[in-house]
Amino acid sequence: MRLGSIDRACRLLCLTLALGGMGRSALANSSSDPAQLILRDDFEAGRFAPEGGLYYKNNPEQRDGSVTFQSRNVMTGHSALTLSVKPACPPLQRRCSERAEVWETPEVLAGYNQTVWYGFAMFMDDPLPQDDGRYVMAQWKREIIPGAKGDYSPFLALRLYEGHLGVTVETDMIEAFPIGGAARPNGCLPGEALAVNRQAAHQTRALVAIESGMAPANYPAYFDSCAPGIMVTRHADLPSGRKGWIDFVFRSSPGPAGNGHVEIIANGVHVGTVKGHIGHSGPGLDKNQYFKFGPYRAPNPQNWSLTFDDFRRGPRCTDVIRSGQCPAE
């Protein structure tokens, strides 16, 4: 089943809503706390499973994206989900974005102050982008009240920088010391996150995991400061996006006041623990967090595709992990 036009996208959306409506009602009624819901979708049915709590959002930015339930490249089973974007933004329109993202349905969203674990498998289709065009494959954000002003970046994101995987966390702007300055003449102190203070957005972004074989010098030079308010325990590095399927596990537990906690696991290997200021608390923000996955980028002249399989979500690491050990709580 492939969506190559607005009409076909609308038809699939309607089908998804019709087939998933009963499932979402059952999910909503199965617990008084959506964060306790265990969600799974292996994409074997050739559509979004009712018990998965997922849907493809039909908005203007996504209407040029495509969704394919296919069997030619899978992690497990007989079917996986390929999401693709093509050049769609008008020339010179810098604030435009191209995306084909799958979202959690509103009924299953967890509260912003709650802990939720996520698992999913991802395959980066050829050609792998080699530029730094704001590539995001998975992101966690806080809901914004409709009509509110503000542009809040994801508090947790899986990104691609010139072909290299990276994980970032983001928060309201906190103190960061420039590397080479008086406070950090020789680099960050042990555990401090490598960060950039984004003055215009009034947010701090930290690079908290990098790809194996890479060094911070392989990532954008604007990560030029140290943020002691975000502490990173580095256990290992991310696998290369060129080496096939990667099974990710993430703990999402934002805490803008300094009590945030993120865990990163890839292919059963514990990559990193991040604690401190994670997330946003500004005006116009709502009570829930939400997750979405799929290709998101700035305007680009090339096509880009990602394939996903085995989505899982639950209140505990043991609900989603496939291999390796869960981190100690």
90, pLDDT greater than 80: yes
The confidence band for 13, taking pLDDT boundaries of 50, 70 and 90, is very low
pTM: 0.91
Q: What's the confidence (pLDDT) of residue 120?
A: 98
244, pLDDT greater than 90: yes
Percent of the chain with pLDDT over 90: 82
The confidence band for 291, taking pLDDT boundaries of 50, 70 and 90, is very high
The confidence band for 61, taking pLDDT boundaries of 50, 70 and 90, is confident
Percent of the chain with pLDDT over 70: 91
pLDDT tens-digit series, residues 199-224: 999 999 999 999 999 999 999 999 99
| Pairwise CA distance, residues 135 & 131, whole Å | 9
Q: What's the confidence (pLDDT) of residue 27?
A: 57
21, pLDDT greater than 70: no
| Pairwise CA distance, residues 62 & 11, whole Å | 14
Q: What's the confidence (pLDDT) of residue 30?
A: 58
| DSSP character at residue 129 | P
Average pLDDT over residues 5-27: 40
| Pairwise CA distance, residues 225 & 196, whole Å | 6
293, pLDDT greater than 50: yes
Supply angle C-alpha 198, 234, 309, rounded to 5: 85
Average pLDDT over residues 13-23: 39
Q: Count how many residues are written for the chain.
A: 329
Q: Burial, 109: exposed, middle or buried (Cβ in 10 Å; 0-12, 13-18, 19+)? A: buried
The confidence band for 72, taking pLDDT boundaries of 50, 70 and 90, is very high
> What is the SS3 assignment for 265?
strand
* Residue among 55, 51, 21 nearest 39 (CA): 51
| Average pLDDT across the chain, whole number | 91
Residue 249: other Cβ atoms inside 10 A: 25
Site of tokens 């946003």: 280
